Amino acid sequence: MNLERLKELQERPVPFAPGEALFWDDPHISTQMLAAHLDPTNDRASRRPQTIARSVAWIVESLGLHPGSAVLDLGCGPGLYAVELARRGIAVTGVDGSRRSIAYAEKSAQQAGLKIRYRYENYLALEDREEYDAALLIYGDFCPLAPAQRSKLLQNVHRALKPGGHFVLDVTTPIHRQRYGNRNGWYVAESGFWKPGPHLVLEEGFDYPEHSIFLDQATVIEANGKLSVYRNWFQDYSRESITAELETGGFRVESVWSDLTGTPYSDETEWIGVVAKRGKGSADASAGE
């Protein structure tokens, strides 16, 4: 066991320092994630089916979407929102960085007789241009991205939307972390979320209150001594900070909510749901828009 390395990992890393690359596409971890997405009894990976149905109904009504409207579902996972949208006649394109989730989504759409276009793709590399009436990024997927990545994503979404198109997303607030706390502890598993064989997991949370950032870090040590570090970063927001960031990215915030089912905004909310409209300009000066 590399004790010096473990000692280093006890220190607070630089904000958004990477851990294991592309671990959500890991063959074992992606299996665990898909199971979590499809579990209707909790909100660990996706919100419960009834909440998803309410969100889709509210988004469709709020944006005035109709059969034939084009929607881009970023971080679509196994297609839980895409299916609900497609059943309303909406033309959906789902993009996700997990091969396993995309494969499941494609099979589910085929079995349901729904025409949904799915793409295994990193949405930071998205190149679509003026194709969509709305783009969705749901369940805090904006929050784990580093500042430069968020800026790039906003450029990509702005470019992908038709003039006047809408961007719908939700982000966490510091109250979310205050209520749930940081993970600090350890456990040994014969098989678990991170690895299929025996392993030790050291969990630690790091707060960066000066930046409204926190980190969930899992250090995993396998029986052969191999050490892996998994990092989930989260940028929290206030109503003012998410509005400012979206405006810098070329969007005009039209409304702010406590979720994406239409709950009125409260200063005590754990989540902020945002409906923003593509402006005439964007942060992507090279886009020629």
Residue 205, judged by CB atoms within 10 A of its CB (0-12, 13-18, 19+), counts as: middle
Instruction: Quickly state the pLDDT bin for 182 (edges 50, 70, 90).
Output: confident
What is the model's pLDDT at position 136?
98
What is the model's pLDDT at position 89?
98
Amino acid at residue number 83: V
pLDDT tens-digit readout, 76-92: 999 999 999 999 999 99
203 neighbors 181 (Cβ within 8 angstroms):
no
Please work out, in degrees rounded to the nearest 5, the angle formed at the alpha carbon of residue 193 by the alpha carbons of 187 and 198.
55
pTM of the model: 0.94
What is the model's pLDDT at position 183?
81
Instruction: Quickly state the pLDDT bin for 3 (edges 50, 70, 90).
Output: confident
Mean pLDDT across the chain, nearest whole number? 95
What is the model's pLDDT at position 286?
38
Say if residue 63's pLDDT is above 60: yes
Number of Cβ within 10 Å of residue 279's Cβ equals 16
Residue with tokens 């960031």: 245
Say if residue 225's pLDDT is above 90: yes
Selected residue with higher pLDDT from 4 and 119: 119
Selected residue with higher pLDDT from 2 and 128: 128
**C-alpha separations of 141 from 144, 219, 226 in Å:** 6, 22, 29
What is the model's pLDDT at position 289?
40
Q: Picking from 45-59, 113-127, 138-152, 174-188, which range would have the lowest pLDDT averaged per residue?
A: 174-188
The answer to whether domain 31-172+237-280 and domain 174-236 are alike in fold is no
Q: Do strands 271-278 and 251-257 pair parallel, antiparallel, or not at all (unpaired)?
A: antiparallel
Please report the DSSP string for the chain in residue order. --HHHHHHHTSPPPTT---STTGGGSHHHHHHHHHHHH-TT--SSS--HHHHHHHHHHHHHHHT--TT-EEEEET-TTTHHHHHHHTTT-EEEEEES-HHHHHHHHHHHHHHT---EEEE--GGG----S-EEEEEE-SSTTTTS-HHHHHHHHHHHHHHEEEEEEEEEEEE-HHHHHHH----EEEEESS-SS-SS-EEEEEEEEEETTTTEEEEEEEEEETT--EEEEEEEEE---HHHHHHHHHHTTEEEEEEESSSS-PBP-TT-SEEEEEEEE-S--S-GGG--
CA distance 129 to 150: 18
What is the model's pLDDT at position 179?
85
Q: Picking from 34-48, 107-121, 177-191, 225-239, which range would have the lowest pLDDT averaged per residue?
A: 177-191
What residue spans define the domains of the chain? 31-172+237-280, 174-236
Say if residue 287's pLDDT is above 50: no
Q: What is the CATH topology of the domain spanning 174-236? A: N-terminal domain of TfIIb (2.20.25)
What is the model's pLDDT at position 288?
37
pLDDT tens-digit readout, 124-169: 999 999 999 999 999 999 999 999 999 999 999 999 999 999 999 9
CA distance 157 to 93: 13
Please report the DSSP string for 85-137 in residue order. HHTTT-EEEEEES-HHHHHHHHHHHHHHT---EEEE--GGG----S-EEEEEE
Q: What is the CATH topology of the domain spanning 31-172+237-280? A: Rossmann fold (3.40.50)
Instruction: Quickly state the pLDDT bin for 282 (edges 50, 70, 90).
Output: low
What is the model's pLDDT at position 280?
81
Say if residue 40's pLDDT is above 60: yes
